[in-house]
Chain A
């Protein structure tokens, strides 16, 4: 339960210094020409994101039936995985292993994992599905979707407003937005703090909820949201329902923790494996050939069959039961880190928009 909003005397922790206080107070509203201050705001750009998996130890024991693999020469079923037969090459995690993540439903059941730092009841069925696929093990390519975030193809912004005390605050307002701007990197390709980012103009990619800070840890109320990522120049929507952000506001000004929720099974299949509804920049459905071959190519490289992954996702689903008691979503968790940033809401038309409209770039 999130306590009622309670105003307390603004305080600025010493580790942020005087400038930290200034950071807390800066906000820019749309169409402003001069920055104006509004108290109590922390903005972050997500500088690192990956699936919550394991720390690598005990991965072999997690898959007593062996690892999944792609069937050489198999038909491309990625666009129609429901038509595929039972995939005997698909294995899921059945062994006992510690997994990253948080307890989403405040219960600890048999299918839940034990987490690190003595966290019990970690809901991370997505890991159970992919944990025996080599690419999703330690050092695999399954987390490669972050790469395109670093290239500026997509991004995530987190805003915490109404912060009176960064250690303990009974009520804050948390916004999670898709980022319209490429992440700002150093010459060594490391994300730089204190850059300004505009939130995506598509309000479907905005989510705001209430939160609380306890001992420097931010927790939000559950909220539905989606954000964009890219694959082979196509955009895919990543959807989370009843999602929560649990993250520490660190002494160095960063934020780190989990962004976790339940992803509808069809959506999680599409965003990760099938790309059936992947779109282009102008919002139209991407060419079928591109979607199909990207999906099949990924299954080939990462080591699974699309139909097997699709079946496993449905089999391991643990959220949002339908009227017949069938679970329609699967718990999925991201490990996120954010660095200080400034978030603004301004028109984000491209400098080339006029040319695009006139057709010169088409």
Chain B
């Protein structure tokens, strides 16, 4: 723990290029009996970069819906299938910091232009006059409390007030002090980084736990994808989050809040890897219907379906793989070849094509896991395995010969299956392709952006196959097989927990994973129940005590 705190302090002080490692954890576990939660294992306290959606939500919540965020955000680092895990391994480049400055200046300018600083300061601002020190101190204390997600320390207060006074003296503008105090806070590591702080645990030497404000922070970003609100911060100040009943009240409050939608969207957007859409290109000669509107709407379509089914309808997570009801916009209707009567906005409809069902048949999956000019059973198959089943597919060998799969159609090689059969004659390739190809080939009825097709190069597409022993003839059968796959709920549980705590799970946490999976099953695979279970579990807030745990400087074996 000391090592992590030292690291954090260095980072907070210097705010230079930053690289954070997921620490190692050693904890004690005992096999769970019955339904009791296994003893917590804990991991290292982390420093995580605020994600783009968390940054935007925080600005919105503190300063208002209309406040612009003009800077561009760094491409997130993906680790263990989640950007959330990568956020604890990320760093800031000078260019990235510049973008945060741009955002901060834009926010401050907007607040000045709109005359909104009066709302943010408890003191009366004298019109046209320089803001006095008392006022600056109150401003930094109030706004800093929300931005830093904990009370502003004396050292921080002195730092930001002196910066404000310097700006005020240099620029001789009434609001310069407040503006640059805000810019300083918005570019401070205390805001941009989620620095978890720990405190000893009373009855376990080998474990520590998050301090009250870090608990509030972890809880809020997990269940609302935004910074803690006033109520949560107040609860942290009073120590209420250490009391199970009070903690439960806040968890229920967050689970009932509209912000739950945003939290679920953020998780699935991360799990489905939607960040890769920023770099997705398609050959417009081959796929003229693809454009940026379609790309954005495709992501939104999937997230809407997920939220509607899992939150609004409290549906079974596994049914996402067989869902036929969806929401479309007109640009999406062109690709799905479905009518969309609503001229503007979204319309609830149903897929008509028998083989179009489940989020794996959405454009957001099919287009994302394809090449610019053609579909890819390999990419899609690997993605089905990795995203929905948490099964790792090894990287291809360095000297792999792709010529067979990239060749133009011939009289005998017309479909993706034909090409892969040629390719798989290579012994070094066939092993992995046996894993990847079946769930990818069944999606060959959808072209490189997800438009339905029955043939490729004039040949009828054979979509049959088997998924880990369950055979199917078409995508309808595959969707059922995926829905009923025992690894599908296990995978989402593991990913949800990793997402919540910002690191990969470790071997000793397998009992806790089993406990969560069993609970998930008993609760009918309801995602909100899973989130509740995680948020109320001791494991969620536990941190391995580095003074006791044996950190060897390398990652512990992952699950």
Residues of A within 8 A of B (CB): 17-19, 22-23, 25-28, 30, 32-35, 37, 181, 184, 186-188, 190, 192-196, 198, 342, 344, 346, 348, 351
Contact = CB atoms under 8 A, between A and B. Distances in A.
Q: Helix, strand, loop or mixed for chain B's interface?
A: loop
Contacts of B325: 34
Contact of B330 (A30, A188, A195): A195
Given A19-B454, A28-B339, A33 B333 contact: no
Given A17-B454, A187-B291, A195 B350 contact: no
Contacts of B353: 18-19, 22
A346 B339 CA distance: 12
B339 A19 contact: no
Contact of A342 (B289, B331, B339): B339
Given A18-B353, A192-B288, 15 more contacts: A19-B353, A26-B339, A33-B347, A34-B349, A34-B350, A35-B338, A186-B284, A187-B284, A190-B288, A194-B335, A195-B334, A342-B333, A342-B340, A344-B339, A348-B343
B348 A192 contact: no
A346 B341 contact: yes
Contact of B344 (A22, A27, A33, A351): A351
Given A28-B339, A348-B343, A37 B352 contact: yes
B317 interface: no
Interface residues of B, number: 27
Contacts of A346: 341-343
B219 to A, nearest CB: 37
Nearest to A348: B343
Contacts of A188: 284, 288
A184 B331 CA distance: 8
B452 interface: yes
A196 B455 CA distance: 25
Contacts of B338: 26, 35, 194, 342
Given A34-B349, A187-B288, A344 B341 contact: yes
B529 to A, nearest CB: 29
Contacts of B289: 186, 192, 194
Contacts of A25: 352
A166 to B, nearest CB: 17
A55 to B, nearest CB: 28
Nearest to B288: A186
Contacts of A194: 289, 333-335, 337-338
Contact of B350 (A18, A23, A35, A344): A35
Among all A-B residue pairs, the 8 with the closest Cβ atoms: A342-B339, A186-B288, A344-B341, A194-B337, A28-B339, A196-B340, A196-B339, A346-B341
14 contacts: A22-B352, A22-B353, A26-B338, A26-B352, A33-B349, A35-B339, A181-B343, A184-B330, A187-B291, A192-B289, A192-B334, A196-B330, A342-B339, A344-B341
Residue in A18, A35, A344 whose Cβ sees the most chain B Cβ within 10 Å = A35
Given A19-B337, A34-B350, A186 B343 contact: no
A201 to B, nearest CB: 12
A30 B291 CA distance: 29
Nearest to A186: B288
Interface string B336-374: 011111111001111011000000000000000000000
B341 A23 contact: no
A143 B188 CA distance: 62
A19 B452 contact: yes
B556 to A, nearest CB: 49
Contacts of B291: 186-187
Nearest to B338: A35
A17 B452 CA distance: 11
A30 to B, nearest CB: 8
A344 B349 CA distance: 14
B552 to A, nearest CB: 54
Contacts of A348: 343
A188 B291 CA distance: 11
Q: Which of B330, B335, B339 has the most CB of A within 10 A?
A: B339
Most buried by A among B330, B343, B349, B452: B343
Contacts of A19: 337, 353, 452, 454
Contacts of B341: 28, 30, 32, 35, 196, 198, 344, 346
A27 to B, nearest CB: 8
Contacts of B344: 351
A192 B455 CA distance: 21
A184 B288 CA distance: 11
Given A17-B454, A18-B454, A195-B333, A33 B348 contact: yes
A30 B325 CA distance: 20
B371 to A, nearest CB: 19
